[in-house]
Structure 1
Amino acid sequence: MDPNVENGSMQGDEVLGWGKSLPVPSVQEMVRKDSRCVPERYIQEHKDRPIEPEMCPHSSEIPVINFSLLVNGDEDERRKLDLACKEWGFFQITNHDVSEEVIKQMKAAVAAFFELPLEEKRNYAMAANDIHGYGQGFVVSEHQKLDWCDLMFLVTSPPKYKKMKYWPVTIPGFKEAVEQYSAEILKLTEDIFANMSLLMGMDKDALKRLHGEMMKQGIRMNYYPACSRPELVLGVGPHSDASSITFLLQDDDITGLQIRHEEGWVPVKPIPNAIVVNIGDVIESWSNGVYKSIEHRAVTSVTAARMSIATFVIPDDDVELGNLMPKSVDVAQMLAVTTAAVVAVLPWM
């Protein structure tokens, strides 16, 4: 297979959408052809490379929240959640309601997609002006440094925003696995929002209401090939999420996610069947900066490929995204703020 076959292509029935993105080669196919190849466009500037001296002490670990205790009203666990949102912006949840089987099927569906031949994956390639589908989004310059990553992005909720032509039809059970997992994450979202609402001094349904009638969910499926020079590249460069909240499934055996903490980078060590949760820019804004949307990145491995599954929760387009919770305004006033049409929040930008 030719690794220079573009993994993004303009499709004839597309109209102007989310913004132009230039087609780029498939990293997965490039590595299959020559595992030692690291093209210049993927080599980060010296200041951006994942160097060891930047790492925080190994004793630094993000908080772990026992979800079962949290949803049953345990005050100590709720205080842990509050501290995690204020000081870290990230936490892992264990003993949650997403079953091990649902997680297993979701990971298998994603793995099956990236195992497809390139010619078949290209059937689901992103249009040059869209975020749905397979490729790399928002490549705006031939000189732009590229991520060591191929991705598949699907909007999963509400149904009116789905584009089913990007959902692979040749993988048995793919649609069912993604829809089941996304439904479970929506339930998880409501429970997390209820607890955060109480911590923010509101009634338990406040954050859900703030998202409007058409709260959206999108899933980004990431494939990070092994890299012969992982110290030169990044799977995903440093960024914060413009979502409300993000849920991440990691590979159980490979640590790739790192978060910015106290001027260094903390690796987020996977816990089997745990889900990593992070605060997005929207909740940082709504909380008046009390809860933090933290910069994070993904690094690569020299020994093995890695996959991850990020689920973004996004407010309705018509929800005001400014500071809705100034400290001088009470909850009743906050919820009475008149909403205005604002550009939709896009965490994948």
Structure 2
Amino acid sequence: MGLEPENLESSIPVPNVQELVSQQLETVPSRYIRDDMDTIITTVPSDLSLRVPLIDMTKLVNSESQDTELQKLHAACKDWGIFQLINHGVSDESLRNMNKQTQEFFDLPLREKKRWAQKPGSLEGYGQAFVTSAEQKLEWNDMIFLKALPIENRTLELWPENPPKFRESLDRYSQDMRQIAVALTRFMAMGLEIESQELYEAFQGLYQIRMNYYPPCPQPERVMGLTPHVDIPAFALLLDCGDKPGLQVLKDSHWVFVEPLDGAIVVNMGQITEIMSNGLYKAPEHRAVVNKSKERRSVVTFCYPNLSFKVGPAKEQINSGSLPLYKTVTVEEYFQRFINRKLEVPFMDTMKI
């Protein structure tokens, strides 16, 4: 059954997971139990073929090492759709501040956090994402989702004023993430051999930030922190705020943990990039699992080009003799298609020619 379009643009209120945990539960409420999911498959870290690729930005920038690192980047985008980026140029201070502000926000009493709760008809604010029915299975996480850039898109009444440095840290962090995104689009364009100037300008674009909190869970093997999904932006930039792995990516039928690396940013391809590369770069399925004794936090930046930018297979991909696999639409139309689709139809199917 198709859902009404506006349902995907908002979320209905559900219990706060952090508060549930504070009740010292021994078992998980039935609405969170996901026995329909695969059991959590972990891969042996010593298996190097199943280790998420590592890309070094300083090697991409340096003319002597650029060719080799570009080949690594191109392979990572094709074979995995996800990689860890090191030496990306964002200061440790900016990452540390964002981590600290996220922790301090989720540590606030529930009543205080609810000052910035989602309002009816919007996903922005503190709560849960994409809960569209009272029967829906729930994820083991709480989140706050905010539009960050351009500045005029911000809904400031939903930007927490407590902790006191939250707004300032998020402002700085979002600009830093845009800097990484703009640089990455240039290198991806080089890997795909497509014109980068238009991309560079377009990625002054739209940036949305979601901060996730995954509390400890008495039955971690029976819940999902985040159910398997594919991201819709061009890519997402994830800061893992701890040392406990929780993010998993599907690779060759295995769920592979993305091991947290201090100071690294995880880059996850989204469907806009898959479309622009005409299917060459992959937007991977990924999910988050939870832990029995440890909480986990992450900060995810969703990176989109400007609303007027045309999303479709790059002309260079088509000129090389490939047939276009996807339609060309503006980013604005792309959002509308995502919101207005029937949920049982995979979004990418609606974009195929």
Aligned partner (choices 304, 328, 333) of residue 342 of structure 1: 333
1: CA distance, partners of 2:168 / 2:189? 32
Residue aligning to 1:178: 170
What are the within-5 Å matches in structure 2 for residues 32-51 of structure 1?
32-46=22-36, 48-51=37-40
What are the within-5 Å matches in structure 2 for residues 96-107 of structure 1?
96-107=88-99
Q: CA RMSD in A?
A: 2.4
Aligned partner (choices 33, 51, 61) of residue 61 of structure 1: 51
Query: 5+ residue gaps in structure 1?
Result: 1-15
Residue aligning to 2:184: 192
Output the amino acid matched with 1:51: I
What are the superposed Cα offsets for residues 78-102 of structure 1, whole Å, 9 maximum, x if unpaired?
Answer: 1110110000000001112111111
Query: 5+ residue gaps in structure 2?
Result: 1-5, 344-353
Residue aligning to 2:308: 318
Bigger helix share:
2
What are the superposed Cα offsets for residues 175-194 of structure 1, whole Å, 9 maximum, x if unpaired?
Answer: 11111111111111111111
Task: Quote how far apart the aligned CAs of 1:325 are.
Answer: 4.3
2: CA distance, partners of 1:116 / 1:340? 36
Residue aligning to 1:86: 78
1: CA distance, partners of 2:12 / 2:189? 41
Distance 1:324 1:315, change over 3 A: same
The answer as to 2:290 corresponding to 1:300 is yes
Distance 1:193 1:221, change over 3 A: same
Residue aligning to 1:12: none
Task: Quote how far apart the aligned CAs of 1:317 are.
Answer: 2.5
Output the amino acid matched with 1:231: E
SS at match of 2:275: helix
What are the within-5 Å matches in structure 2 for residues 124-273 of structure 1?
124-211=116-203, 215-273=205-263
The two structures have a TM-score, normalised by structure 2, of 0.86
Distance 1:347 1:232, change over 3 A: farther
Distance 1:127 1:306, change over 3 A: same
SS at match of 2:221: coil
What are the superposed Cα offsets for residues 166-210 of structure 1, whole Å, 9 maximum, x if unpaired?
Answer: 111131211111111111111111111111111111233242245
SS at match of 1:310: strand
The two structures have a TM-score, normalised by structure 1, of 0.87
Task: Quote how far apart the aligned CAs of 1:240 are.
Answer: 0.7
2: CA distance, partners of 1:346 / 1:181? 30
Task: Quote how far apart the aligned CAs of 1:71 are.
Answer: 1.9
Please say if residues 314 and 345 of structure 1, whose CA atoms lie closer than 8 Å, have aligned partners that are also in contact.
no
Output the amino acid matched with 1:103: L
Output the amino acid matched with 1:92: Q
Task: Quote how far apart the aligned CAs of 1:255 are.
Answer: 0.3
The alignment-based identity, stated in percent, is 36
1: CA distance, partners of 2:104 / 2:235? 27
What are the superposed Cα offsets for residues 263-300 of structure 1, whole Å, 9 maximum, x if unpaired?
Answer: 11110001111110011000000100000000000000
User: Which consecutive segments of 4 or more residues in structure 1 shift more than 6 A?
Assistant: 345-349
Distance 1:340 1:161, change over 3 A: closer
What are the superposed Cα offsets for residues 91-128 of structure 1, whole Å, 9 maximum, x if unpaired?
Answer: 00111211111111000010111011111111111112
Aligned partner (choices 60, 64, 78) of residue 70 of structure 1: 60
Distance 1:209 1:329, change over 3 A: farther
